[in-house]
Structure 1
Amino acid sequence: MQSGGRPEGVAAAATLAASAETIWLAVAPTLPGFTVEVVPEIDSTNSELMRRARAAPLDPVLLVAEQQTAGRGRLGRGWHSQPGHSLTFSLGFTLRPRSWSGLSLVVGVSLAERLHADVRLKWPNDLWLMERKLGGILVETAGLADGPDAARAVVIGVGLNVARPAEAAVQQVPGGALPPMPPAGLAEVEMGVTAPEWLARLVPALVADVKHFEAEGFAPFVSRFAARDALRERAVTLSDGTRGQAAGVADDGALMVRVDGRLRRVDSAEVSVRPC
């Protein structure tokens, strides 16, 4: 696929440095110590930042890879990437929110609002475009000290398809009962926008939204999530086989599912949700 007459991989390599500078200029004034790192290849941006977080206090950092060889998603899914055809990055912070509940939904809201009007959020951490998977989010934390109010290092990993990948490249969850979602790509709705351009569009707003979450929790994002909710009022099947109707999310980000006339709270640790 071409982008503005240039191969996508070449365009990405040529412009990532410029995007990194643009992002640093936008974010550094409000996030002291913030740095941007761009690498041509890595096993996983999340894995690298988690290694750092376990070894020492994590300074604010954006780590971007042109290519990941062992990217990770939720529930054991792999997320591999090709230069120019996808966007893979991780943000690392030290945060002390009142509650961690709903952070992955906040990340999804922030991304979806800046990607395209047709992007929807499939609870808890997938981005959909036209009923197909556009990208995913992986949030991981590492403790810095003991105690319920202690700050923690958080690593927010994002993988997005710029070009639509072949369906054969989408991996089945090991031992999973549900088939993988067919893929989508941003180029289907935004022709000619490169991965570095998407990066510059997304990251400053994402940093601002995460800091807002730290101060106020998930409650200010409930209505924003509802506007993008891919599952609301739809029949769903949970990973344990239970069937019901999705009924939005609670103020702490828990999925609400109506089962046999009663609302059931669903937490991220116990669920994989797919419309029936």
Structure 2
Amino acid sequence: MQNTAQALATVVADLNGAAEAIWLATQSFCPALSLEVLPQCASTNTVLMDRGRLGDTQTTLVVAAEQTAGRGRRGRQWLAHPGQTLTFSLGIALNLDQVPGGGSALSLAVGLAVADALDAGMASFASATGLAPHRPMGLKWPNDLWIGGRNLGGILIEACPAPGLPSSQRWVVIGIGLNVQGTPSAPEATSLIRPDQAALTIGQVWQWVAPTLIRRVHAFERHGFAPLQEAYARRDVLLGQQIGLWSTPGQSPGDGYPPNQIGLAQGVDTFGALVVHTDQGQQTWSSGDVSVRPRPN
């Protein structure tokens, strides 16, 4: 038990150091940012959603060394293993109703921000440690980060009205989970680095990602997704691929159900919707309507 407690304390200390660096890096464009490091919680998203419903809507980053009941898209479980998995959430008041694509497009903008920050961070890390250059991050619509055909992490965005906010704004919580090191239990998952390659901490990765994320969310609220469409296309792992689409509530590819439709992914539009050519013609899908998987060749 003592070794476990010591390991957790080491992770918390790492995250506290990163929090100080993030605070300094964001003062010029988000001076009121609040940062919290939790040794353990059920879900960082739940922590911030509960606060927003009570009217606490200060822009806040919450990170947990260990997450015991994290949630992914469509209620899937996402656990954080101390020192191996980075799980954090950003709570921020946004006027999404006036942004083309709203929350669906925000998920894509967030994915692009995280991918850009990880590529820059890993390039610097590889140069400093002598590792081989890192493969560029891919994005799988609507909310997954991929490397080499495997899932590195995901994004969960939730929103609700909140006391004290104007009627045009909602309290938006952006949750991010990333496998930093170790060997994930799921065969389709991967990590940024193996423990035998070099020492990379979740605090370092949080420090890479958080400032870019906050800056890009502010930009998205002002300009929407359209200026990001081309950059997203360069990372789109589904573009030009045969895909299956599951649109029946309660049925998902992981549960063995066959897809409702099959089609050719043709990228995303300026609203962040997935464009697919099917036997019924061209269709567009928003992120809450469908699950997507690439089809084997």
TM > 0.5 between the two?
Answer: yes
Moved more, 138-147 or 125-134: 138-147
Alignment-derived partner of residue 143 in structure 1: 161
Cα deviation per residue 1:143-193 (whole Å; 9 max; x = unaligned)? Answer: 1379996111110000000124443xx4xxxxxxxxxx6110011598422
> Residues 8 and 212 of structure 1: is their aligned pair in 2 closer, same or farther, counting only changes over 3 Å?
farther
CA contact (8 A) 1:66 1:84 kept: yes
SS in 1 for 2:230: helix
Alignment-derived partner of residue 252 in structure 1: 271
SS in 2 for 1:273: strand
Structure 1 stretches of at least 4 aligned residues deviating more than 3 Å after TM superposition: 7-11, 144-149, 188-191
CA contact (8 A) 2:44 2:64 kept: yes
- Once the 2 structures are TM-superposed, how far is the Cα of residue 28 of structure 1 from its aligned partner? 2.9
Alignment-derived partner of residue 234 in structure 2: 227
SS in 1 for 2:70: coil
Alignment-derived partner of residue 25 in structure 1: 24
Residue number among 167, 173, 187 corresponding to 2:193 in the alignment: 187
CA contact (8 A) 1:10 1:84 kept: no
Moved more, 210-219 or 158-167: 158-167
> Residues 8 and 264 of structure 1: is their aligned pair in 2 closer, same or farther, counting only changes over 3 Å?
farther
SS in 1 for 2:109: helix
- Once the 2 structures are TM-superposed, how far is the Cα of residue 118 of structure 1 from its aligned partner? 2.3
1:159 equivalent to 2:177? Answer yes
> Residues 62 and 88 of structure 1: is their aligned pair in 2 closer, same or farther, counting only changes over 3 Å?
same
- Once the 2 structures are TM-superposed, how far is the Cα of residue 270 of structure 1 from its aligned partner? 1.7
- Once the 2 structures are TM-superposed, how far is the Cα of residue 262 of structure 1 from its aligned partner? 2.6
Moved more, 99-108 or 255-264: 255-264
Residue number among 104, 111, 116 corresponding to 1:113 in the alignment: 116
TM-score by length of 1: 0.87
- Once the 2 structures are TM-superposed, how far is the Cα of residue 227 of structure 1 from its aligned partner? 1.0
> Residues 248 and 191 of structure 1: is their aligned pair in 2 closer, same or farther, counting only changes over 3 Å?
farther
- Amino acid aligned to 2:293: R
Distance in 1 (alpha carbons) for counterparts of 2:268 and 2:289: 15
Q: Aligned Cα RMSD in Å?
A: 2.3
- Amino acid aligned to 1:252: F
Cα deviation per residue 1:74-101 (whole Å; 9 max; x = unaligned)? Answer: 0111000111111000001111142214
SS in 2 for 1:25: helix
CA contact (8 A) 1:71 1:80 kept: yes
> Residues 82 and 208 of structure 1: is their aligned pair in 2 closer, same or farther, counting only changes over 3 Å?
same
1:237 equivalent to 2:244? Answer yes
TM-score by length of 2: 0.81
CA contact (8 A) 1:144 1:150 kept: no
Alignment-derived partner of residue 127 in structure 2: none
CA contact (8 A) 2:12 2:37 kept: no
Cα deviation per residue 1:195-238 (whole Å; 9 max; x = unaligned)? Answer: 00000011101101000000001111111111110100000000
- Amino acid aligned to 1:184: T
1:207 equivalent to 2:214? Answer yes
> Residues 122 and 164 of structure 1: is their aligned pair in 2 closer, same or farther, counting only changes over 3 Å?
farther
Q: Which runs of 5+ in 1 are unaligned?
A: 1-6, 171-180
Fraction of identical pairs, as percent: 41
- Amino acid aligned to 1:230: V
> Residues 226 and 22 of structure 1: is their aligned pair in 2 closer, same or farther, counting only changes over 3 Å?
same
Alignment-derived partner of residue 95 in structure 1: 94
